[in-house]
Structure 1
Amino acid sequence: MRRGRVVLGAVGVAVVGWVVAVPLAGVSLRVRAGGGGGEPAVVHGVGFAMVVVAAVLAGVAAAVLLAVLERRTRRAGRWWVNIAGATLASSFAGPLRAADVATGMALAGLHLLVGVTLLVGFARTIRCSPPADGC
């Protein structure tokens, strides 16, 4: 139940971040795709539904990974925090494909909001199995 609330919290901060960036600040979230091999890049919009779905998928993936680690390792917490931190850091490659600086900053902010919410929220739900050294 607590982990479900963490996922909902991540979706909530994503929605707030999108509302601040798009309707309030007027940023048009556009990213470039393709463009390799001499072909021009195609620009796609990032809409509200995409932001919500991405937050849900990230949250579910994080919850599943944590549950698997808790069942299979003695130091699930340590492993999960390291993997989650690395995943958050690597997610910033996405905003590098932004069509402009404002979009890049908005997308980086959304990644940070969702990632930190999931990282901190799930870290508080980690179950340690005895012996709990390094949990």
Structure 2
Amino acid sequence: MTITTSSPTRIAGRSRLAVVGLTAVTSVAWWVVLTKVFGIDLAAKQGSIIQVGAISVLVAAIAMAFAGWALLAILEHNTLAARRAWTITASICCVLSLGSPLSGGIGTGAKLGLASLHLLVGTVVILGLRRTALSTAARCTPSGISK
């Protein structure tokens, strides 16, 4: 057994932070396309009628990306098949999140637009964070030790 001093090839925090940034940028860009290019009024009824603006989209996208990051970190710490468990759990959450825009959106355009925002954020977070997940072998091998 030989102890090596090589540094890790992947820095999870930086890659995951890039996923958060990408999620924020793509969600706001899609909001601009929906509202400014297609002219869709993204209004929803949640108690009262609300207009879904760029700031709301940005904050929600960032919050969901960080929540996904936290869940993945917890699963990596507590389970062997974290990547698989996270992907399944996040996919189920993404599908279930469609209930809100499809039931609360005012008008077909708003319902479809809000649902597309949910799917966009979900897809970027799921695929992006899945890519950063450490494999079981990488987590189960003591770092710095090679055979």
TM-score where L is the length of structure 1: 0.88
Q: What is the rounded CA distance, in whole Å, between the counterparts of 2:71 and 2:45 in structure 1?
A: 30
Number of residues of Structure 1 aligned to a counterpart in Structure 2: 126
How far is 1:103 from its partner?
0.5
Q: What is the rounded CA distance, in whole Å, between the counterparts of 2:46 and 2:118 in structure 1?
A: 18
Identity score, percent: 33
How far is 1:102 from its partner?
0.3
Amino acid corresponding to residue 68 of structure 1 in structure 2: I
- Match among 16, 31, 39 for residue 26 of structure 1: 39
Q: What is the rounded CA distance, in whole Å, between the counterparts of 2:138 and 2:36 in structure 1?
A: 50
Residue 127 (structure 1) aligned with residue 140 (structure 2): no
Q: What is the rounded CA distance, in whole Å, between the counterparts of 1:28 and 1:58 in structure 2?
A: 23
Aligned Cα root-mean-square deviation (Å) = 1.6
Residue 63 (structure 1) aligned with residue 69 (structure 2): yes
Amino acid corresponding to residue 57 of structure 2 in structure 1: V
- 1:1-135 equivalences under 5 Å are 1-34=14-47, 42-96=48-102, 97-130=104-137
Stretches (4+) displaced over 2 A: 128-132
Q: What is the rounded CA distance, in whole Å, between the counterparts of 1:131 and 1:66 in structure 2?
A: 15
Q: Which runs of 5+ in 1 are unaligned?
A: 35-41
Question: What's the CA shift string for 1:2-51, capped at 9, x where partnerless?
Answer: 000011111111011101001111111100123xxxxxxx2111111000
Q: What is the rounded CA distance, in whole Å, between the counterparts of 2:122 and 2:108 in structure 1?
A: 21
Counterpart residue number, 1:37: none
How far is 1:131 from its partner?
8.1
Amino acid corresponding to residue 105 of structure 2 in structure 1: A
Q: Which runs of 5+ in 2 are unaligned?
A: 1-13, 140-147
Larger radius of gyration: 2
